[in-house]
C-alpha cells in the first residue's frame, strides 16, 4: 500500500539520460510486483514458460535492466527481509484483497469480459519464493548487485542513499522519504506509455525525483512530523484516520506538532495503537551495513542458457537487449576507469 503523499510532495520530472552515471538502489519486491501485475496476456494470464512457471517478473527485470544499463545507470536491488510485526494486519488485508480479486477475475473470464478480467488479474499478483530465486539468479548473471535487507527493503535502500553509497532510492511508494532517503526516484522501472484503466487513452509515464530536504523545507516540517503525517494517512503498519488525507494531516501536525495532541477523536482512533513503535520503524529502522556494491560484466552465455533454454525467452530478443546493455557499459567505461565502473 505505502504512504500516499502525492498531494503534498513536490516532484520534478527527469529523463533516463539525466540519470546516466548515477547509482540507484531499487526496492526489489516493489518492482517485481509491478512486473507481475503489468506484464500479462490480454486475458490477464501472466507470461509463463512451457512448464507453467511464471516469467512476467523475469521479462520485466531483464528488459528494463538492459534498457537502464544502456543508459549507463548503475543499479542495485534490495530485497525485503523479515517484516515488522505490525505489518501482519496489512499482509492479511492484501491477501484478502487478492482472494476477492481472483473470484472476480474468474467470473469476468466466464462472461468473456477480458478487459475487466485483466484488471482483476493484476490485483492477484503473488510473488512466490521461486520467483525471488529466479530474480536473484538473473541479477547475478547480469552483473547487478543485490542486497538482502534484514527487514524492509525500502528502509535499507534509504539507508544506503543516506550514507552516500547510492545516489537515490527507487520505489513507487513514498515510504522511502519517511525512512530518510535524501532522494527518491519514481517510475524508473515502468517509464513509457501506459493505458488508463477503462479508457482508450494512453499517458506517458516518466521518471520523477523527490528531494527530501526540499519537501521538508517547502512544507516547513521535520522528518519526524512527516512520519506523523504518514501515520494519520495510514501506513503499512496502521490504518489511517477516516476523512484525513495528506493536506489535512499536514495542517494538523503543523498546528499540534504531535498526533497525541490533536483531538479526542484522533486519540480514540489510535487508542490501541503504539504510535511510538510505528515512528521507530521509520526513524530507526532495522538495517545493515554488511553489503557490497560490485558490478560485473553480464554473463551472456549464462543469461542465454537461463532465459532462452530454461525459460523459453526469444533468443534473438535477448541477444539484442544484451548488446544494448553491453554497449552502455562500454560507453561508461570510456568515461571512467574499468575499476571505477565495476566497483
Specify if 61 maps to a domain. yes
Specify if 338 maps to a domain. no
Specify if 302 maps to a domain. no
Count of domains observed in the chain: 1
Confirm if 60 and 137 have CB atoms less than 8 A apart.
no
pLDDT band at 276 (very low <50, low <70, confident <90, very high): very high
- Model pTM greater than 0.85? yes
pLDDT tens for each residue of 161-206: 999 999 999 999 999 999 999 999 999 987 666 665 666 666 788 8
Q: What is the DSSP string of 276-337?
A: HHHHHHHHS---------------HHHHIIIIIIIT---HHHHHHHHHHHHHHHHHHHTTS-
Of residues 44 and 138, more confidently modeled: 138
pLDDT tens for each residue of 121-136: 888 889 999 999 999 9
Asked if the model's pLDDT at residue 157 lies above 60, the reply is yes
b/e string for 9-20 if b means 16 or more Cβ within 10 A?
bebeebebeebb
3-state secondary structure of 119: helix
pLDDT value of residue 200:
64
Specify if 320 maps to a domain. no
Cα distance between residue 278 and residue 280, in whole Å: 5
Burial class (CB in 10 A: 0-12, 13-18, 19+), 58: buried
**Per-residue three-class SS string for 42-54:** CCCCECECCCCCE
Q: What is the extent of the structural domain holding 166? A: 12-219
Residues 6+ away with beta carbon under 8 Å from 110: none
pLDDT value of residue 97:
86
Specify if 226 maps to a domain. no
CA atoms within 13 A on the CB side of 294: 6
Cell 532495522 locates to: 286
Specify if 319 maps to a domain. no
3-state secondary structure of 274: coil
- Average pLDDT of the chain is 90
Instruction: Indicate which CATH number applies to the domain containing 124.
Output: 3.40.50.1010
Specify if 57 maps to a domain. yes
Specify if 292 maps to a domain. no
pLDDT tens for each residue of 55-67: 999 999 999 999 9
Q: What is the DSSP string of 54-104?
A: B-HHHHHHHHHHHHHHHTT-EEEEEE--SPPGGGHHHHHHHHHHHHHHHHH
Amino acid at each position: 500500500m505505502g504512504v500516499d503523499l502525492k498531494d503534498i510532495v513536490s516532484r520534478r520530472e527527469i529523463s533516463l539520460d539525466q540519470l546516466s552515471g548515477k547509482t540507484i538502489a531499487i526496492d526489489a519486491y516493489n518492482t517485481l510486483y509491478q512486473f507481475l501485475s503489468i506484464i500479462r496476456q490480454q486475458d490477464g494470464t501472466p507470461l509463463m514458460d512451457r512448464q507453467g512457471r511464471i516469467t512476467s517478473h523475469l521479462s520485466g527485470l531483464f528488459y528494463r535492466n538492459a534498457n537502464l544499463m544502456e543508459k549507463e545507470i548503475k543499479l542495485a536491488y534490495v530485497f525485503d527481509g523479515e517484516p515488522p510485526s505490525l505489518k501482519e494486519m496489512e499482509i492479511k488485508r492484501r491477501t484478502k484483497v487478492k482472494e476477492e480479486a481472483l473470484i472476480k477475475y474468474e467470473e469476468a473470464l466466464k462472461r468473456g469480459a477480458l478487459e475487466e478480467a485483466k484488471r482483476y488479474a493484476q490485483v492477484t499478483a503473488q510473488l512466490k519464493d521461486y520467483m525471488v530465486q529466479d530474480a536473484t539468479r538473473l541479477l547475478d548473471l547480469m552483473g547487478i548487485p543485490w542486497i538482502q535487507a534484514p527487514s524492509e527493503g525500502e528502509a535499507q535502500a534509504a539507508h544506503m542513499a543516506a550514507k552516500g553509497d547510492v545516489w537515490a532510492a527507487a520505489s513507487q511508494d513514498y515510504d522511502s522519504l519517511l525512512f530518510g532517503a535524501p532522494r527518491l526516484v519514481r517510475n524508473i522501472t515502468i517509464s513509457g506509455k501506459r493505458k488508463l484503466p477503462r479508457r482508450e487513452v494512453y499517458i506517458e509515464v516518466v521518471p520523477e525525483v523527490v528531494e527530501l530536504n526540499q519537501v521538508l523545507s517547502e512544507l516547513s516540517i521535520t522528518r519526524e512530523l512527516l512520519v506523523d503525517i504518514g501515520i494519520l494517512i495510514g501506513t503499512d503498519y496502521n490504518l489511517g484516520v477516516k476523512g484525513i488525507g495528506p493536506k489535512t494531516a499536514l495542517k494538523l501536525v503543523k498546528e499540534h506538532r504531535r498526533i497525541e495532541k490533536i483531538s479526542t477523536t484522533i486519540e480514540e482512533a489510535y487508542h490501541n495503537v503504539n504510535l511510538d513503535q510505528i515512528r521507530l520503524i521509520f526513524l530507526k529502522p532495522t538495517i545493515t551495513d554488511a553489503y557490497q556494491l560490485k558490478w560485473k560484466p553480464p554473463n551472456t552465455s549464462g543469461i542465454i542458457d537461463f532465459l532462452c533454454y530454461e525459460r523459453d525467452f526469444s533468443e534473438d530478443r535477448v541477444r539484442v537487449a544484451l548488446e544494448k546493455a553491453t554497449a552502455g557499459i562500454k560507453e561508461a567505461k570510456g568515461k571512467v576507469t574499468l575499476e571505477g565502473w565495476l566497483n
